[in-house]
Amino acid sequence: MVKLFLTGRLRNLKRNMTADAHQRQAFETLYDQYFKRIFLFARKHTGDEDEAADLAQEVFLKLWLNQDSFAKHISAEAQLLTIARQLIINRYKKELVRQKAYKSWHQDKSDIALSETSDQSLLEEELHQRYKAALNELPPKRREIFEKSRIEGLSYEQIARDLSISTSTVESQMVKALRLMRGKLLLLLLPFFS
């Protein structure tokens, strides 16, 4: 099936070329005689039928385009196999370069992700330190109210009952505590948003 496809494409290519009938006949003879051999050689070295078919077709295209440099005293099979070998080597080299570039890109991507993770950890640590420092700046009673609300998750009513103070006192102390905490923590985050 691959050969039929290639033969069809090659025949279309041959029809479009302006070489004389003798050159076409010689080319067709070489193609019919050596295509399978070149295809098998390429498949052996690539392990892929489609790639082998592409390589075999490319060998005959190079032959057609460079027929003036085709040596008469060296066997056609040897010359065709040499072209095939060189094309295979070139494809291996391109593949190695592609793999090396991919590995480099993947490593760079990993390094960036690691760096971002490290930066994130440093930011979180700095934020935590600033949070603790701001918390320590609160007066003891206000700090206690803040911790009961934000850390323990108690409602204002529960805090008021526990501390025997009014709910409005809890609210006012929370407003003051939150204002201080936001101010201190916002100063840390400003450089990242400017």
CATH of 138-194, one of 3.30.465.10, 3.10.28.10, 1.10.10.10, 3.40.228.10: 1.10.10.10
Q: Which of 103 and 93 is assigned the larger pLDDT?
A: 93
Q: What's the pLDDT score for residue 16?
A: 54
CATH of 2-99, one of 1.10.10.2120, 3.20.20.100, 1.10.1740.10, 3.40.50.300: 1.10.1740.10
Q: Which of 107 and 82 is assigned the larger pLDDT?
A: 82
Q: What's the pLDDT score for residue 74?
A: 84
Q: pLDDT tens across 12-64, in order?
A: 655 555 446 777 888 888 888 989 999 999 999 888 888 889 999 988 888 88
Q: What's the pLDDT score for residue 110?
A: 58
Q: What's the pLDDT score for residue 169?
A: 92
Burial of 18 (0-12, 13-18, 19+ CB in 10 A): exposed
Q: Write the CB contacts of 144 (distance below 8 Å, at least 6 apart in sequence).
A: 163
Check if the beta carbon of residue 174 is closer than 8 Å to that of residue 157.
no
Q: What's the pLDDT score for residue 101?
A: 76
Q: pLDDT tens across 125-163, in order?
A: 877 887 888 888 889 898 899 888 888 888 899 999 999
The pLDDT > 90 percentage for the chain reads: 10
Q: Which of 93 and 101 is assigned the larger pLDDT?
A: 93
> Is the pLDDT assigned to residue 107 strictly greater than 60?
yes
